[in-house]
């Protein structure tokens, strides 16, 4: 069982993955110790001919035939049992002392319902421009990656907070699922703390180039409207100017991207009209 069981706090890792039929992939996540020393709930989105099983009492598996990352996250929330939970993906590498750092942070910050942490890239550099430890607000949660979000399960369940299934990989708008989750936590008056400690490493991806991709422009436009209403149109225009100046889109692409962004806003407004979304 997890070493955390030696304390009054027990961490459960809520791990989303796809098409797994063996636990061997966990070796890369826990290079500094056996994954058998941690409590995991694995949501394996798969097909009936590729099922994952576990013979370990502290590693639970749910094979799901749904699609979309937020559906996976919500299934994990529904079935989680650990007083403390950590959001996880299958492409991270945990520090040797990550679990102790998390439980220690919740012990020290008794008012915190959610605590986010730092991560490094595979070269040991900061993944983001982090600040000192502090309480989160609507601005600071914009910089949080999902895999460094830990929370008290009771706080999340009491407030009935889930991931928005219209946002995130595999959804209509393929970004910002963790941002909306944290904004919903703030809206529910939960207290969110940033702990300036590293818990894992993650490869740098091409997210910079993706800022100008069709899927991100479409999705961010919907997000702008969700939180800014009519001013979302202005935020869309400003966003395109910024990524143009950063050379993520070309001059001849600007109005094509603008049109795509307007389509994203229209798609989101349609969800509101149908009662599937609220601002």
DSSP state of 275: T
The pLDDT, as a whole number, for residue 172 is 97
3-state DSSP: the chain helix, strand, coil percent, rounded to 5? 45, 20, 35
Q: Which residue has the tokens 């490493």?
A: 201
pLDDT at 209 (0 to 100): 55
CB-CB neighbours of 1 under 10 Å: 13
Tokens 């590693």 map to which residue?
A: 59
pLDDT at 9: 63
pLDDT of residue 7: 44
Q: What is the SS3 string spanning 41-104?
A: EEEEECCCCCCCCCCCCCEEEEEECCCCHHHHHHHHHHHCCCCEEEEEECCEEECCCHHHHHHH
Predicted local confidence at residue 34, as pLDDT: 86
Report all structural domains of the chain as residue ranges with CATH numbers, in order of start.
3-202 (3.90.550.10), 207-273 (no CATH)
Q: Which DSSP state fits 167?
A: B
Report whether 161 contacts 70 (CB < 8 A).
Answer: no
Question: For 43, phi and psi rounded to 5 degrees?
Answer: -100, 110
Kindly report, residue by residue over 172-230, the tens digit of the pLDDT. 999 999 999 999 999 999 999 999 999 999 988 744 458 999 999 999 999 999 999 99
Query: pLDDT value at position 33?
Result: 76
How big is the CA angle at 162 (ends 233 and 79), to the nearest 5 degrees? Answer: 155
User: Does the pTM exceed 0.85?
Assistant: yes
Neighbour tally for 265: CB within 10 Å: 20
> What pLDDT shows up at residue 206?
44
Averages of pLDDT over each 10 residues, the chain, 279 residues: 47 98 96 88 97 95 97 98 97 95 96 97 92 97 96 98 96 96 98 98 71 96 98 98 96 97 98 94
DSSP H/E element including 120: strand 114-120
């Amino acid at each position: 069982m997890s070493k955390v069981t030696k304390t009054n706090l027990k961490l459960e890792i809520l791990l989303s993955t796809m098409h797994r039929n063996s636990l061997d992939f966990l070796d890369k996540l826990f290079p500094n110790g056996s994954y058998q020393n941690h409590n995991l709930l694995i949501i394996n989105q798969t097909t009936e001919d590729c099922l994952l099983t576990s013979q370990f009492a502290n590693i639970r598996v749910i094979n799901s035939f749904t699609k979309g990352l937020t559906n996976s996250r919500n299934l994990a929330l529904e079935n989680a049992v650990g007083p403390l939970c950590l959001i996880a993906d299958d492409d991270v590498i945990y520090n040797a002392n990550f679990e102790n750092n998390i439980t220690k942070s919740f012990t020290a910050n008794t008012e915190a319902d959610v605590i986010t942490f730092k991560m490094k890239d595979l070269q040991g550099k900061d993944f983001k421009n982090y600040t000192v430890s502090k309480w989160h607000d609507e601005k600071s949660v914009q910089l949080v990656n999902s895999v460094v979000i830990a929370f008290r399960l009771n706080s999340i369940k009491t407030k009935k907070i889930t991931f928005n299934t219209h946002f995130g990989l595999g959804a209509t708008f393929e970004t910002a699922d963790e941002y909306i989750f944290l904004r919903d936590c703030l809206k529910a008056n939960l207290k969110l703390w940033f702990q300036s400690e590293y818990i894992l490493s993650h490869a740098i991806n091409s997210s910079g180039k993706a800022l100008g991709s069709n899927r991100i422009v479409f999705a961010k436009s919907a997000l702008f409207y969700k939180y800014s209403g009519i001013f979302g149109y202005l935020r869309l225009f400003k966003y395109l100017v910024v990524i143009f100046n950063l050379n993520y889109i070309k001059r001849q692409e600007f109005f094509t991207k603008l049109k795509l962004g307007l389509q994203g806003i229209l798609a989101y407004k349609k969800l509101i009209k149908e009662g599937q979304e609220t601002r």
